[in-house]
A = this chain, B = another copy of it.
């Protein structure tokens, strides 16, 4: 069997924008469904639910259900998820630099 590309491997686990943004939020601490729904601008319940389940399945997130009514569910990082912090951090740095130094200082619109 041939060796797999590490970059492609990473992309197989965080393969869409929503997962990155969910990760961005949960890296700051455990979060509830409702919080993420508001924080991840534009995501629908369905997409949020779906991505959270996939990330749990892939071992990136932990899901803790509090047996209460109304429901209370908390999502937190697993060690594997925590190990993705440098990836998100590098994106954050790049985005900050872009917003400060590139966007708006060029004529082409973003």
Contact = CB atoms under 8 A, between A and B. Distances in A.
Contacts of A91: 6-7, 10-11, 87
Interface of A: 4-13, 15, 17, 20-21, 24, 41, 57, 59, 80, 83-84, 86-99, 102-103, 106, 108, 110
A100 to B, nearest CB: 9
A11 B21 contact: yes
A59 B95 contact: no
B88 A4 contact: no
Nearest to A27: B7
24 contacts: A4-B99, A5-B95, A6-B92, A6-B93, A6-B95, A6-B98, A6-B99, A7-B20, A7-B21, A7-B91, A8-B95, A9-B98, A9-B99, A10-B92, A10-B94, A11-B20, A12-B110, A80-B98, A83-B97, A86-B93, A86-B94, A87-B94, A89-B90, A90-B90
